[in-house]
Amino acid sequence: MIIDCHGHYTTAPAAHTAWREAQQAAFRAGERPPPYPAISDDEIRASVEDSQLRLMAERGIDLTVFSPRASAMGHHFGDEAVSAAWARACNDLIARVAGLYPDRFIGVCQLPQSPGVPIANSVAELRRCVNELGFVGCNLNPDPSGGHWTSPPLTDPAWFPLYEAMVELDVPAMVHVSAVTNPSFHATGSHYLNADTTAFMQLLESDLFETFPGLRLIIPHGGGAVPYHWGRFRGLADMLGRRSPAEAVMGNVLFDTCVYHQPGIDLLFDVIDVGNLLFGSEMVGAVRGIDPLTGHHFDDTRRYVDALLLAPGDRVKVYERNARRVYPRLDAALSRRGIC
């Protein structure tokens, strides 16, 4: 079985996106937003069948861990009430997709984060999504300000109420930023990768996993710059008197395979233990074009993994077993279907 740990609903129905625009306009005008629109099952089917589902079939992906569009989480906009309403609408839509295609999608939730608002206020939505909607994890934005980094590091006790709930519920988080308002950064070209690298360094400087040994975090996009500068991080750990990254961080952290060329994937697997890698494509996402050097889509990451000389057991780990270990609720859902 091939499980894609990193899929976003980037093709959501137009009515959903239009409501977000109306919500934002209403906030700017100091007015109440209009009611959320009725979206039919047929509209949802049309939004995924010729995009996500078609590509999954073409690339041989069996199941996608599916979450709201990351760049549209927009935590920087509005206030706590705006973020809460938007997160709930996005999560409910993901639940409907998973309900229509239970063998192809399983949900991961957007948190209703808002700058300056305690993360504890997001815990209720996490619980709702896990306990009521059957979701298996969440996306955690380390920078709700949208590129200005006004929040404390992920290792600060301010984040602990969320981590406590995650450990209790036995769900992981993918550390994933959203849109960027700082003009110095391109959203997917620098802000995303900067955030991945920043999160890793924060973890390396801390003892977070001694406090939360059961906490599991996925750093997407191949770990940002980390695998490609692994010697730097090992050296910094030594200079700072910290344990090595492999010892201090990688027992609780995983990277995905959202790296869009073969040499990058080759290096990722050379540096990072196969037990810390989850297959992911970020499809349909940041890079949608065809690579002129190969004639294949950049984000067809299965091609890169298939090209590796992996032992059969290691290939199964990357494609399935690691995901089932990191997402125990996913494993339980598959086991209930008789997929062992």
Catalytic residues: 282
Classify residue 290 as exposed, middle or buried by CB count within 10 Å of its CB (0-12, 13-18, 19+).
exposed
CA-to-CA distance for 138 and 143, rounded, in angstroms? 15
CA-to-CA distance for 55 and 290, rounded, in angstroms? 13
Six token digits for residue 11: 């093709």
- Rounded alpha-carbon distances, angstroms, from residue 302 to 4, 129, 221: 9, 29, 14
Sequence-distant (≥ 6) Cβ neighbours of residue 148 within 8 angstroms: 181, 182
Q: How far is CA 88 from the centre of its chain?
A: 17
Q: Which residues of 39-67 are buried (b: 16+ CB within 10 A; e: fewer)?
A: beeeebeebbeeebbebbeebebbbbbbb
Segments in the chain forming alpha helices (H): 14-29, 41-49, 52-59, 80-100, 123-131, 160-169, 192-204, 208-211, 230-239, 245-248, 262-271, 301-306, 312-316, 322-326, 328-336
User: With contact defined as beta carbons under 8 Å apart, do 66 and 99 qualify?
Assistant: no
Q: Can you tell me which residue has the tokens 């937003």?
A: 33
